[in-house]
Structure 1
Amino acid sequence: MKIGQWTLAAMLLAVVGGVSAQDQAKAPWEEYDKLIDKSSAITSLGPDLFGDNVDLYTGSLSFSATDVGLPGNNGLAVAVGRRYSVENHVPSRIDVDGYDLPFADWDLDVPKVSGVFATAWHDARCSGSAQPPTVQVSGKYFYAKDYWQGNQASLPGGGEMLLASAATPGPATGGPWRWTTDGQTWFSCLTTIKNGSGEGFLAMTADGTRYWFDWMAQYHEAQLEGGLPRRRNVLYATRVEDRFGNSVTYTYTNAYNARGRLTTISSSDGRTITLGYNGDGHVSTVGDGTRSWQYEYASVGTGKRTLTGVVLPDGSRWSIDFADFTAAGFGYNASQQAEDIYRSCFNPGDILYKSSVLGAIEHPSGARGEFTVTPHRHGRSNVPAQCENFTLPINSPNDDVAFYPINWDAYSLTAKQVSGPGLTTMAWSYEYGSSISWFNPPSGGGYPICQDQNGCEAPVCTDDSCAGTKVTTVTAPDGSWTRYTFGNSYRYNEGKMLRLQKGS
């Protein structure tokens, strides 16, 4: 799907104010998108020299770059990479969520496991309950599903960490294996971590490579309405070892409740990378012993920086303008009168600040990529309508929360443009559509409530005749189009690609 990539490559070679605390908070329904399984088709359409990737199911846009990678005598990576995701932040936020990463608004792309908690990750994080506990703040209860979206493993064969089933055999050696991923990575428990209390994780991938996740760091996340503070807790790998005994060691120096501070990556075959930091605690230099990469930042508010440039050893540079991406955020209209209805369990409400946002990145060759994202409503079909806070005989829908999200809003990629010296400007456009439907549980008496002690999560649609779809259409620079049709039926075909059509 890399349309025109070879043409572009040939050309490149040739040209060588004050806000309240409530304004800073998120409601549970503003994070529905993080609860949806989006393990669909993540790809790059068109020239991918900018490191861009789009999830065709939702339009979610992200970027990745490996600045330094040292080849060696084994297959273990000794590399420093960056990762960026376009997300919905709280409008006009004064907190530093999204800005306190190792590269300011870019994350460090190294092996890790992570999750969002309120605020600490409990000590029995491996051997204990699969979900974090209910938290009470000022008389209000927050359940795990309100503030936590599961734990994620970032490594080959990673993804969401799931409790292992006794019926699913794990690796023959090691263990006991308590967690696993769809990529057949398995996790057992380490009794301690190196810079704090509680347990860590020992992972084994399908090829026998082991990862020791035992160095903690924390990052800001937007608090929830009602005053619940949150932190993204990360356990970084300090050691990676393949089945032949080759190893890579990661050295960190941060406290458990501070941002990660990686200082050295070294391998058993002699490869070494060192990282230096500026006064703000962001990576300023990366070196391999003979060469150095420099990182530049700009201030975009008190305590807020954005990565603007990466200077390569030969003096060429990446120029990055993602300040508007990192500042982007939309909220929802709220009623000025207590009796007015402005949202419900089935409708998140009308979006505020529904404007497109542009980000740009310039390749060292001079090619420029511009990316436009726009808030878009996505949805699912055949979802059980179970609405928390629903009351009888009178209900105010404004505080209803869907136990199983039905629809959600997110920034989705709508346009991509590539231009530069000697290049013909190329542009792609993206359109999205969803079928959205739900059903009241049989035990609810016609209301979106569950009165069955066994639960109401069973799917009502388990064949194609009733399943809904989600469609993404991409139009290429030459006017041709590609249409991707996914299933979006709850617990049946959600996220699976059903059809791929092309036309002009």
Structure 2
Amino acid sequence: MVAKNFVLGRNEVIVYPSRVRDRFGNYVDYEWSTVNPWQLLGMSSNDGRRLTISYPDATSKFVSTISDGSRVWSYRSSDGKSGQPVTFPDGSRSSATFVGLQRARPDPTRVSCDEIDFRPSDYVGTFTGRSGVTVELTLRDVLFGRSWIERECLMGGGSESIREPFVFLSAALVKKKVSGPGLPTGGLVWTYDYGLPNNCWNPSPYGVGSNACTATSPTTRIVKQTNPDGTVTRYTYGNRFNVDEGLLLRTDFGWNGTSAVRSEEVTYADPEAPPYRAYNGISYRNFGDYSTTGFYRPKARLVTTEAGKVFRWEVATDCAGGPRCFDTQARPTKIIKSDGQ
């Protein structure tokens, strides 16, 4: 293959710690296989405790047993291979069937800059604990929209590609069911509704174009969680590109369609405000809220409204070195609270 851009050769270096010590002098020693260094064979601490880890063979990637000297945890699946489920020292077992969730890799076929071929699917996985209680998770391909993105359609090799997608696909949780001993016959069920994508888009001619968003365009996404008792919790997320995309802005508990029993509204601090730096890293994803996740966006204010009272939690603004009282790691150093009066 011929690289279209510069190629940077890299070497992978893995460090296997032999001892980890805390500031009080406590330590844990790690013992690694000399045949395959990535096999951890044992851990021992300065207080005398020790774990011994065994594998089916010297090349296996799966643990078969873990022992503390008096108790043994065994890992073996139904097909006889090491791994899950786990058998605990008292003989109880847990099991997991996550094969369906492993297929949850939504990838829409992009027809052009302005169209995608979207065929949603469901993925189901289950986990059964030692008590016999089973948790069933259902994920579904969900389309999420992004607002205030300028359309830039790139042409190459006879096909189109988009610099910033106006929608993206994700495998999202749509149902959680907990059933088993001591629970109702039908189990406890939570469902999740992700609503409309809430994107705005302008299929303008090739090249950089204006976006189709206006003052009345949606800049949030709504997720509704219906709880086992029938109550609804509504989550409001920002979806404005490079502003608040992916951030939780508001939570309404006991939402009845027009009002809530309790509401929490969040305001975030400026991502480029001193004394913390603007970026905490760069996401390798090139869609969704990847840009926002790279910024420091600490919580600056939380307003809770309940029973007609308003409670406030806020990072103070009277500290030197920045608009709010944060340290260099974007952690609050001074907080002001009100009692709802």
Provide the C-alpha distance between the structure 2 equivalents of 1:467 and 1:330, rounded to a whole number of angstroms: 25
Classify 1:329/1:199 alpha carbon distance in 2 versus 1 (closer, same or farther; 3 Å).
Answer: closer
1:277 to 36, 55, 62: 55
Aligned to 1:253: 33
CA deviation profile, 1:224-278 (whole Å, cap 9, x unmatched)? xxxxxxxxxxxxx5543322232223333388xx894222222233332222112
2:89 counterpart of 1:313 = yes
2:266 counterpart of 1:486 = no
Q: Which has the higher contact order (CA 8 A, sep 6+)?
A: 1
Aligned to 1:428: 190
Provide the C-alpha distance between the structure 2 equivalents of 1:325 and 1:306, rounded to a whole number of angstroms: 20
Provide the C-alpha distance between the structure 2 equivalents of 1:318 and 1:289, rounded to a whole number of angstroms: 22
Give unmatched runs, 5+ long, in structure 2.
Answer: 257-341
1:369 to 114, 135, 152: 135
Aligned to 1:382: 148
Q: What is the CA distance between 1:380 and its match in structure 2? A: 2.0
1:345 to 89, 113, 122: 113
Provide the TM-score with structure 2 as the length reference. 0.61
Contact 2:84 2:96 in 1 (8 A): yes
| Structure of higher CA gyration radius | 2
Identity %: 32
Q: What is the CA distance between 1:483 and its match in structure 2? A: 0.5
Provide the C-alpha distance between the structure 1 equivalents of 2:69 and 2:169, rounded to a whole number of angstroms: 46
Q: What is the CA distance between 1:321 and its match in structure 2? A: 1.6
SS in 2 for 1:503: coil
Aligned to 1:287: 67
Classify 1:253/1:478 alpha carbon distance in 2 versus 1 (closer, same or farther; 3 Å).
Answer: same
Provide the TM-score with structure 1 as the length reference. 0.43
Provide the C-alpha distance between the structure 1 equivalents of 2:6 and 2:189, rounded to a whole number of angstroms: 44
The residue identity in structure 2 corresponding to 1:370 is: E
2:172 to 412, 418, 429: 412
What RMSD, in angstroms, separates the aligned Cα atoms of the two structures?
Answer: 3.8
Classify 1:248/1:382 alpha carbon distance in 2 versus 1 (closer, same or farther; 3 Å).
Answer: farther
Aligned to 1:141: 4
Provide the C-alpha distance between the structure 1 equivalents of 2:22 and 2:114, rounded to a whole number of angstroms: 49
Q: How many residues align?
A: 248
The residue identity in structure 1 corresponding to 2:135 is: G
SS in 1 for 2:77: strand
Contact 1:325 1:359 in 2 (8 A): yes
The residue identity in structure 2 corresponding to 1:495 is: G
SS in 1 for 2:117: coil
Provide the C-alpha distance between the structure 2 equivalents of 1:395 and 1:330, rounded to a whole number of angstroms: 25
Aligned to 1:170: none
Aligned to 1:473: 224
Give unmatched runs, 5+ long, in structure 1.
Answer: 1-137, 145-195, 201-213, 216-236, 334-341, 451-458
Provide the C-alpha distance between the structure 2 equivalents of 1:499 and 1:299, rounded to a whole number of angstroms: 47
Alignment of 1:34-433 (within 5 A): 138-141=1-4, 214-215=15-16, 239-253=19-33, 260-279=38-57, 280-298=60-78, 307-332=83-108, 343-351=111-119, 354-388=120-154, 390=155, 396-397=159-160, 400=161, 402-424=162-184, 425-433=187-195
Classify 1:318/1:469 alpha carbon distance in 2 versus 1 (closer, same or farther; 3 Å).
Answer: same
The residue identity in structure 2 corresponding to 1:241 is: R
Q: Determine which structure has the larger helix proportion and give its number.
A: 1
